Structure 1
Amino acid sequence: MPCEINDDAQSFGPLAQWLQGPVLLALAEAAIELDLPELLAQTGDLDALARMLGAHRVNLGLLLDAMTAMGLAVKQDGRYANTALGEMYLRRQRDTYLGDMLINLKQMQHRHLDKLAELVRSGPPEVHGAQRLSSPERWRASAGHLANYQRAYLAPLAVELVEALPEFPAMKRALDLGGGPGLVIMALLERRPDLRGALCDLPPLAEVAREHAAARNLEGRLAFIAGDYNQVDLGQGYDLIWASHTLYYAKDMDAFMQKLLAALNPGGVFICLHEGLTEARTAPSLHVLARLCLALEGQDVSFDHGFLAENMRRAGFARVTSRPIDGPMGLVWLDVARKARAEEQ
């Protein structure tokens, strides 16, 4: 007699989905290693692809079928092509290529997956060198990945958000705090020829940003503040300060928010884009899971939702608003803080 299934019973479907995670990432890595997105831009013929790679034709076909199943390729009449995802972000020749960033993030986010139980028993291990999130060497090595990420997503988003501000037409000076290779502030400068900017980051990244500015003929409009933002003089007289996923390293958040407030002109705007954990730090799942290994090794840098906005209010910002943005890297919070105008002080 067939077993009756309770419709209200919990399905074990999630278990099967968990098994697919490593397969999906391994497929993406294989596609990157074989440079398949670039080759698919040249031909979709399986025989030609096998010859170009010197590959086993049958196994190459199986890999391409799996890439199709995961959404990296399409297959029609026996021929393959890139999807928009593969075309835009996994072709090495594009300046929006994110394949190396994916591999870099895997190395950081997965480095303890084989010893989670051990870390629970023993506690955080010692973290050295480039494995430290604050390591200048680590960020210098990641500069190329960051530039492509900024070009592909963050810079267009920043332009959209800043241009929507009623204060934007009157802004004269902007600071990109922890701006890395600097494509965010440069995109803003290119939208407003009369706008001048400054970028503050560690010396290796400030140097990379200087190179990008030279390539875009922006050296005369963009100043560089090379150093730890906790220690250097940020200057004053800014109408806008932008910070995206850079406030983890503030050593005294109250004092640092006051430092940013002092750097703004009356009526100036501080825009902060950061994750914010909710539900007793168990959500959003993407952030919690992606940063588990970092947290287990003692580098838990994620903020609780509302923490930054509350620090802004406590520092003396006159008006603070927050709203969620659901982006490709998960849900983040946009906090916009305004310094009181001269007549309000």
Structure 2
Amino acid sequence: MPGRQAPPGDDELYLTVGAYVVPQLLYVAARLGLADLLAAGPMALEDMSEQTGAHPATLVRVLRALASVGVFVRGRDGRWRMTRAAEPLLDDHPRSRRAAILFAGHEQHLAWGAVMHTVASGKPAFDYAFGHSLHRHLATDEAAMATAEALRARRAARRDPAVVAALDLAGARSIVDVGGGGGELLIALLSQRPGVRGVVVEAPHVAGRTRARLQALGWGERCEVVVADARERLPAGHDVYLLAEVVHCYDDDDASRILRNCRGRRVVVVERVLPAGGRAAADRLADLHMLVMYGGRERTRREYAELFAAAGLRLRRVTPTASWVSLLEGAPRVAR
């Protein structure tokens, strides 16, 4: 039909089968800190091998492969140099993707390698691949936790300004940030509202770091840190319960239990909202990724309304933001 766009050709689709090679090479570069070495200036292969402990003949093949896609370049003097495409491998670069690469190259790579377990059972492949849940993994693996925290902080930096701009907290005197990580979003909200107090609810392996961070930044007086499993209990009686990209980590039963424990005037869920009948690849891939990693899911507006209802809440409004998330605001149903 004239004007109708043809779907991508088969060749383009099936070229993605080998696409795992480059991400794994980037993972190797991130783990070895190759960009950090070259940021100080060009280096010979022998020196890079000595400082990283990598096998020289193999390291040069890795470097050549990365150079073929624009990451690093070998000069005429034989020494290796940085390129613009290598800059996101640096921790302190504004475009840094190092944490995402490290997490994708190990935790996500191994979990997705066991995706058939998810397809056969409906359970998270991560648990099958690692022998325990992702939450447990982060609680017991310091390196993995550090990577996940860096990844979360980068994501929050892109998301939180849009949330702060869209969230109306008029009349609120206290906010509970459920699964609030390092407290970045809560600090951003409280900094604009001098009379409001905050509570961060986190798991034991996160809470200590959060408490120390808030104290160091001077927020210890206005921000309390509470250790709790949100599926079991939450501090009661606060005005606003905020859950930023928390609910999508859980299946409907656990998500409903968490929302039911939000015993206050308002509940604000910050999540990606899938369009009804939508076919966007990013949305559908994100949904499946939550299942593989956590046993969770992304949801449509209707599915969130049903989830709120199961928890005794009424979905009052959905407010888009300038980022990928929307604000889903609920309130307790009034008994008749």
Structure 1 residues without counterparts, runs of 5 or longer: 1-6, 328-332
Change (3 A) 1:228 1:116: closer
Residue 335, structure 1, aligned to residue 336, structure 2: no
Q: TM-score, normalised by structure 1?
A: 0.70
Seq. identity, %: 18
Structure 2 counterpart of 1:304, from 283, 292, 299: 299
C-alpha deviation, 1:168, in angstroms: 4.0
Q: In the TM superposition, what are the counterparts of 1:10-21 in structure 2 within 5 Å?
A: 10-19=9-18, 21=19
C-alpha deviation, 1:256, in angstroms: 4.2
The aligned residue for residue 272 of structure 1 is 270
Change (3 A) 1:104 1:115: closer
The aligned residue for residue 180 of structure 1 is 181
Determine the C-alpha separation between the residues in 2 that align with 1:235 and 1:8. 52
Determine the C-alpha separation between the residues in 2 that align with 1:338 and 1:122. 32
Q: In the TM superposition, what are the counterparts of 1:25-44 in structure 2 within 5 Å?
A: 25-43=23-41
Structure 1 counterpart of 2:147, from 145, 149, 157: 145
Aligned 8 A contact 2:173 2:197 in 1: yes
Determine the C-alpha separation between the residues in 1 that align with 2:134 and 2:59. 41
Determine the C-alpha separation between the residues in 1 that align with 2:305 and 2:174. 23
The aligned residue for residue 215 of structure 1 is 216
Determine the C-alpha separation between the residues in 2 that align with 1:110 and 1:224. 33
Q: Deviations over 1:226-246 (max 9, x none)?
A: 111122242223245232134
Q: Is the partner of 1:199 in helix, strand or coil?
A: strand
The letter for the 1-side match of 2:317 is V
Aligned 8 A contact 2:200 2:226 in 1: yes
Determine the C-alpha separation between the residues in 2 that align with 1:122 and 1:137. 21
C-alpha deviation, 1:36, in angstroms: 1.4
Change (3 A) 1:200 1:241: same
The aligned residue for residue 314 of structure 2 is 317
Q: Deviations over 1:249-301 (max 9, x none)?
A: 674555543442x313xxx461322464875999534325645755xxxx632
Change (3 A) 1:8 1:253: closer
Moved more, 49-58 or 133-142: 49-58
Change (3 A) 1:154 1:86: farther
Determine the C-alpha separation between the residues in 1 that align with 2:48 and 2:172. 53
Determine the C-alpha separation between the residues in 2 that align with 1:317 and 1:118. 36
Determine the C-alpha separation between the residues in 2 that align with 1:8 and 1:270. 39
Q: Is the partner of 1:109 in helix, strand or coil?
A: helix
C-alpha deviation, 1:222, in angstroms: 1.0
Change (3 A) 1:154 1:51: same
Change (3 A) 1:240 1:145: same
The CA RMSD over aligned residues, in Å, is 4.5
Structure 1 counterpart of 2:156, from 154, 157, 160: 154
Change (3 A) 1:126 1:25: closer
Q: Is the partner of 2:299 in helix, strand or coil?
A: coil
Aligned 8 A contact 1:230 1:250 in 2: no
The aligned residue for residue 3 of structure 2 is none
Aligned 8 A contact 1:96 1:149 in 2: no
Moved more, 107-116 or 237-246: 107-116
Aligned 8 A contact 1:109 1:292 in 2: no
Q: Deviations over 1:94-121 (max 9, x none)?
A: 6996535533344433336556668867
Q: Deviations over 1:212-235 (max 9, x none)?
A: 212222211111221111222422
Q: Deviations over 1:39-70 (max 9, x none)?
A: 23211x353x6534448889766644543554
Determine the C-alpha separation between the residues in 1 that align with 2:152 and 2:56. 37
Determine the C-alpha separation between the residues in 1 that align with 2:238 and 2:121. 50
The aligned residue for residue 236 of structure 1 is 237
The letter for the 2-side match of 1:183 is E
Q: Is the partner of 2:21 in helix, strand or coil?
A: helix
Q: Is the partner of 1:110 in helix, strand or coil?
A: helix
Change (3 A) 1:325 1:135: same
Q: TM-score, normalised by structure 2?
A: 0.71
Determine the C-alpha separation between the residues in 2 that align with 1:339 and 1:293. 31
Determine the C-alpha separation between the residues in 1 that align with 2:267 and 2:226. 20
C-alpha deviation, 1:147, in angstroms: 2.7
Determine the C-alpha separation between the residues in 1 that align with 2:7 and 2:170. 57
Q: Is the partner of 2:326 in helix, strand or coil?
A: strand
The aligned residue for residue 109 of structure 1 is 108
